[in-house]
């Protein structure tokens, strides 16, 4: 018999977080999160997403053993201000038993109906900076620290339960040797002169921090037209600034500003932490932090985490300035591979930025929708 239990205590939440460690323990492609980071993500006193969201966590039990988990989420900013009457679900993992999936999703439907919402969509997190989508292609590819991995049967379960695809995302990879300087060197010099733009590079984190709020404002402006976008709030800016910026190599953060010191383009790249996270296996101590620090300093693979260009400059080639600066940095560091995190399949503007580098699609993922 399968029973569904709401997760309320820290002990129960820790077990909820650890379930995928059991489900994927023999899988060479799954990248485990840091357990302490997951606990903070679900902590209403620490994660500012809860300013505009509410969430409930459930596990499925069979013979007193966890066989599935799910988070039921409402982003009230999305509901009230964007008028998307949607209940979300995320952090979904399950054994290959469609009855378990069905019972877990029933808890999401209950939350949606209770609040008179019209449909359910997932997997997705609280905001646009959370993980998104269920993997549908690329099960033989190692995940990243910003994506969920899953077994192939997840999508099959959703489809059999009446869900349809809502959004598709693609991930790709290209060798750094594909990035030829001649593609953008002359062009970026011309663009800088024509529009009076200037690149900003950094050696120290303290020099980056004064620009971070402007970066998030630009992020909001760059992605505002995408159907899935929910703006980052001022409180979330502070949270992400404290949690992530100090951990990112400052030389992997690139900005472009105009003559009035307004940011018009930005990009954040991170070393690939996937193998380090596998070695850490969810724990920073005693050796996890060492593995992450080693990856931060020595990884030859990099992940393009965020890139944004102000709408006024999206057709003016401002991204060429950023690529020129990354070419210099990556050459110095001996970077070998560039990995792109999930991008909407219909975001043609962002795909056009990468076309000269001949990226190969490695993974596809989707969110699924069902009317309530």
pLDDT in tens, 244-289: 888 899 999 999 999 999 999 999 999 999 999 999 999 999 999 9
Q: What is the pTM of this model?
A: 0.93
pLDDT in tens, 124-135: 999 877 999 999
- CA quadruple 109, 113, 119, 120: dihedral positive or negative? negative
Measured in whole angstroms, the distance separating CA 61 from the mean position of its chain's CA atoms is 29
Q: Which residue has the higher pLDDT, 110 or 180?
A: 110
- Pairwise CA distance, residues 231 & 227, whole Å: 12
Determine contact, residues 55/38, Cβ cutoff 8 Å.
Answer: no
- Given pLDDT bands bounded at 50, 70 and 90, which one contains residue 351? confident
Domains of the chain and CATH, by start? 2-170 (3.40.630.30), 174-363 (3.40.630.30)
What phi-psi label fits residue 61: left (phi over 0), alpha (psi between -120 and 50 degrees) or beta? beta
Check pLDDT > 70 for residue 227. no
Q: Which residue has the higher pLDDT, 11 or 317?
A: 11
Determine contact, residues 126/55, Cβ cutoff 8 Å.
Answer: yes
pLDDT value of residue 352? 84
Share of residues in the chain with pLDDT > 90 (%): 83
pLDDT value of residue 294? 95
- Pairwise CA distance, residues 245 & 268, whole Å: 10
């Amino acid at each position: 018999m399968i029973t569904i239990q709401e997760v309320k205590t820290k002990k129960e939440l820790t077990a909820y977080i650890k379930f995928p460690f059991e489900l994927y323990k023999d899988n060479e492609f799954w990248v485990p999160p840091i357990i302490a980071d997951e606990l903070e993500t679900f902590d209403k006193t620490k994660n500012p997403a809860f300013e505009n969201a509410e969430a409930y966590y459930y596990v499925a039990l069979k013979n007193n053993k966890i066989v599935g988990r799910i988070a039921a989420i409402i982003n009230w900013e999305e509901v009230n201000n964007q008028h998307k009457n949607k209940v979300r679900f995320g952090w979904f993992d399950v054994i290959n038993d469609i009855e378990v999936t069905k019972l877990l999703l029933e808890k999401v439907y209950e939350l949606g109906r209770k609040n008179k919402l019209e449909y359910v969509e997932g997997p997705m997190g609280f905001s646009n900076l959370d993980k998104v989508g269920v993997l549908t292609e690329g099960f033989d590819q190692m995940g990243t620290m910003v994506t969920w991995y899953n077994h192939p049967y997840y999508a099959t379960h959703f489809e059999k339960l009446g869900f349809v695809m809502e959004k598709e995302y693609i991930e790709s990879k290209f060798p750094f040797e594909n990035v030829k300087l001649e593609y953008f060197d002359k062009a970026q010099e011309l663009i800088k002169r024509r529009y009076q733009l200037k690149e900003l590079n950094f050696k120290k984190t303290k020099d980056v921090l004064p620009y971070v709020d402007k970066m998030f404002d630009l992020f909001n402006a760059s992605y505002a037209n995408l159907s899935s976008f929910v703006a980052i709030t001022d409180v979330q800016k502070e949270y992400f600034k404290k949690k992530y910026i100090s951990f990112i190599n400052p030389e992997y953060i690139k900005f472009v500003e105009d003559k009035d010191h307004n940011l018009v383009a930005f990009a954040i790249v991170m070393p690939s932490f996937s193998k380090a996270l596998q070695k850490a296996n969810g724990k920073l101590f005693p050796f996890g932090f060492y593995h992450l620090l080693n990856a931060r300093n020595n990884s030859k693979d990099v992940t393009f985490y965020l890139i944004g260009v102000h709408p006024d400059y999206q057709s003016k080639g401002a991204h060429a300035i950023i690529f020129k600066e990354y070419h210099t940095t990556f050459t110095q560091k001996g970077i070998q591979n560039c990995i792109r995190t999930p991008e909407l399949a219909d975001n043609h503007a962002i795909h056009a930025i990468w076309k000269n580098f001949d990226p190969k699609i490695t993974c596809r993922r989707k969110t699924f929708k069902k009317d309530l």
